[in-house]
Structure 1
Amino acid sequence: MPLTTAPDDDDDGAAVRRGALRALDQGLFGPGSVSWKVWAAPTALIGFQRAIVLEHLDPLLAAAAADSGGMYRNPHGRFDQTFGYLLTIALGDSRTAVRTAQAVTRIHTRVTGTDPVTGRRYSANHPGTQLWVHVVAWHSMLRAYEDFGPGRLDEAEERRYWAECATAAELQTCGPAGVPRSREEAAGYFARLRPALCTSERANDGMRYLLWPPLRAVGARLWAVSRVTAALTLTTMPDFFWRTTGFPRPRLTHAAVRACRPLLRLTMRLAAHPAPATALTSAIAPTCGHILRAHHAARPPLHPATLTPAEARKRYGAPRTREPAAVS
């Protein structure tokens, strides 16, 4: 995903031509936000892998992923672009965030079809599907940050994190209404959806591919990193993941990860410094590394303020439209 959109004739064109991640303003969250802290941490690599695996428990999303086939045709590029999109929303200025989100929504309008497992129609922009993707991503980032990073957020930070999660949802077709606003509400959301979650041969194949991509498909660097992150990712999976998929729990691996957790936290703390963080990320995901480098090197923007998604859309984007519900 591009970091910036093409300049136009408005007063901010010169700032956009600078090509900075936050040329115009401080984005949707701004300095000191919990989102910047969590999403820019090296634990985000683990959180992202967790999210894209768990997403496959939604049968409609699993069908969309399998039918489109992008992760099989270009797994490295799809990983880099999708993770880069999420980082752009969290770290970019408001124009970059809203334009990028609208571009992805337009791409998703072509991703429609019928799920062979349930017989239901799917649409990548369906509000329910987008809400699942959004909540799983933000929950996974927080879980990885807590398990392998600095630890649990304090009460005020956690409230702010979930409020920022709802803010980011305004860029999706789901909107913020159904977004959990606390850890407890997130648990309730997953409990409500649990009866509708299921798996299939295609979904299990997709999850295995995302956890352990083949060497020939992704190259040596991502192949090696994925083996390490998969071991960490699987220790964070909820009980319903194991019950639904039927995957055997790697108990010895889980025990080893728990024993090594203090060392892992220290490693992540060292890797959180800008130089190693961008070097590590760039080695396996060039677009994401470029975004992190721009984030850490960002100069004061043209307008030192944050904008709401509604303000950003009014100023920089097309009016927001909702995707009609898919036919069941």
Structure 2
Amino acid sequence: MTKRKTEIAPMQDYGFFGPGSVTWKVWGSASSAVTGLQRAVVIEELDPGLIAAVDATGANYDRPRTRYDRTIRYFAMVAFADSRSVSKAADVLVKVHSKAIGTEPVSGSPYDANDPGSQLWILLTGWHSVLTAYEMYGGGRLTREEENRYWEECAIAAEFQTCDPADVPRTSEGVREYFEKMRPRLAVSEAARRMMDHLLNAKVVLPPTPPIARPLVGLMNRVLRAGCIATMPRWMRRLSGFDQPRFVDLLVRPILRFGYARIERDPRVKLAVLRRLAPSAVPVVAPYALGIPPQSDEVLTPAQARARYGYDKPADAHHTLRAKQRERVFGRHLAPSDEGLIESQAILGNLS
């Protein structure tokens, strides 16, 4: 066993999916952490309430690396971490989102990151984007049976957010219907377009690059940007204002398929790439990537985990804190407190 393997702690159990799940197959691809989640965070900004929440914090501009790192760590935890860790992360995420409330400046409507509709949008854009990237640049098309299993497993992941698992479509057709239903509610403000352009720039999440490597990083950035845009349907590109010729879509596909295939050949290379992009996710992904078995081969349901560890459903959690935040923001017109955000660092990674 290599020295690096001995430094990686095995998980307590297989969490909520485990070997043989479509979640492990799809989310374990290198295309997921790069193009998949880049696509997800870009598309998310089409929701007016969400962009208002994100723009108000300024975190994507002030600390894009840590924001991306924490996002990848959370999604990786849901897919690969043990049941106790995921349950704890889901609980603290409600506290983090309790801070993301306010008034959407265009419509004047209130927004709340813990709103079930907002959380369903985040969940489905994430899982759909990862699957889209996987099928286009990673392992290829899933079978119809695998697709249906994937969305059934997505409904399990929904139990770690405030949305209702019953609202998660269980087929690809249902997911397409969901996005069609959302189309009239989506919009692109100046803030959204600026944020989307910012998030399409992969360089913002990379550590400082030596001058000699900057031309190569610049080229990689252009390829990743084009690859992300190529995954988006035409109507979404037109709405966003980020389109490109069809020949660019066709050209970038074999380039990214080749690049991701090279990464997939060696788990050590995959972890090295992840360590550069999202170092806090490495301890979560490494046991899966290196085949290190957990202490127990249990696969739990979210209900079993809540009963075992004493957590509430996210939709029912921390109402006192959420009410206090609403009173601060809407009653006293103060900024929300950072207590959930500070607490989350031990679970989701540092803020700086």
Residue 87 of structure 1, CA deviation: 0.5
Counterpart Cα distance in 2 of 1:301 and 1:254:
41
Q: Which residue, out of 27, 31, 42, partners 2:19?
A: 31
Specify the SS of the correspondent of 2:242: coil
Conserved? CA contact 1:278–1:290, under 8 Å: no
User: What's the offset of the Cα at 1:156?
Assistant: 1.8
C-alpha displacement of 1:22:
1.7
1:51-100 Cα shifts (integer Å, max 9, x gaps): 00000000000100000111111001111111111001110011111111
Aligned counterparts, 1:192-211, within 5 A: 192-211=181-200
Is 1:91 the counterpart of 2:80? The answer is yes
Is 1:138 matched with 2:127? yes
Is 1:79 the counterpart of 2:68? The answer is yes
Per-residue CA deviation, residues 96-115 of structure 1 (Å, 9 max, x unaligned), is 11111111111111110001
Contact 1:21–1:295 (CA under 8 A) maintained in structure 2: no
Q: State the 1:321 CA deviation.
A: 4.4
Matched, 1:271 2:289: no
Q: Distance in 2 between matches of 1:185 and 1:284?
A: 33
Shift of 1:254: 2.0
Q: TM-score, normalised on structure 2?
A: 0.81
Does the residue aligned with 1:152 lie in a helix, a strand or coil? coil
Give the one of 292, 295, 299 matched to 1:299. Answer: 292
Contact 1:113 1:122 survives alignment (8 Å): yes
Q: Does 1:171 align with 2:196?
A: no
Residues 1:87 and 1:254: Cα distance change in structure 2 (over 3 Å):
same
More helix by share: 2
Distance 1:173 1:47, change over 3 A: same
Cα distance in 2, alignment partners of residues 164 and 321 from structure 1: 18
What's the offset of the Cα at 1:152? Answer: 0.4
1:56 matched to 2:45: yes
Q: Deviations over 1:6-30 (max 9, x none)?
A: xxxxxxxxxxxx983522x111001
Q: Distance in 2 between matches of 1:152 and 1:136?
A: 18
The residue type equivalent to 1:268 in the other structure is: Y
Between the aligned partners of 1:219 and 1:294, the Cα distance in structure 2 is 28
Match of 1:243 among 238, 241, 245: 238
Identity fraction in percent = 40
List per-residue Cα deviations over 1:284-313 (Å, max 9, x = no partner). Answer: 221223332232235332321100111111
* Shift in Å, 1:215: 5.8
Alignment gaps of 5+ in structure 2: 1-6, 331-352
State the 1:153 CA deviation. Answer: 0.5
> Would the aligned equivalents of 2:200 and 2:225 in 1 still touch at CA under 8 Å?
yes
Say if 1:62 and 1:202, in contact at 8 Å, map to a contact too: yes
1:283 paired with 2:276, answer: yes
Q: Which residue identity does 1:194 align to in structure 2?
A: R
Q: Contact conserved, 1:38 with 1:141, CA < 8 A, in 2?
A: yes
Aligned residue for 2:176, secondary structure, equals: helix
| CA RMSD, Structure 1 to Structure 2 (Å) | 2.5
8 Å CA contact 1:51–1:137 kept in 2: the answer is yes
8 Å contact kept, 2:120–2:163: yes
Change (3 A) 1:321 1:38: closer
Does the 8 Å contact 2:162/2:315 carry over to 1? yes
- Maintained 8 Å contact 1:144/1:236: yes
1:160 alignment partner, one of 145, 149, 173: 149
- Rounded Cα–Cα distance in structure 1 between residues aligned with 2:248 and 2:197: 16
TM-score, with structure 1 as normaliser: 0.86
Please point out which of 197, 220, 227 is paired with 2:222.
227
Report how far residue 269 of structure 1 moved.
Answer: 2.4
Return the offset for 1:230: 1.4
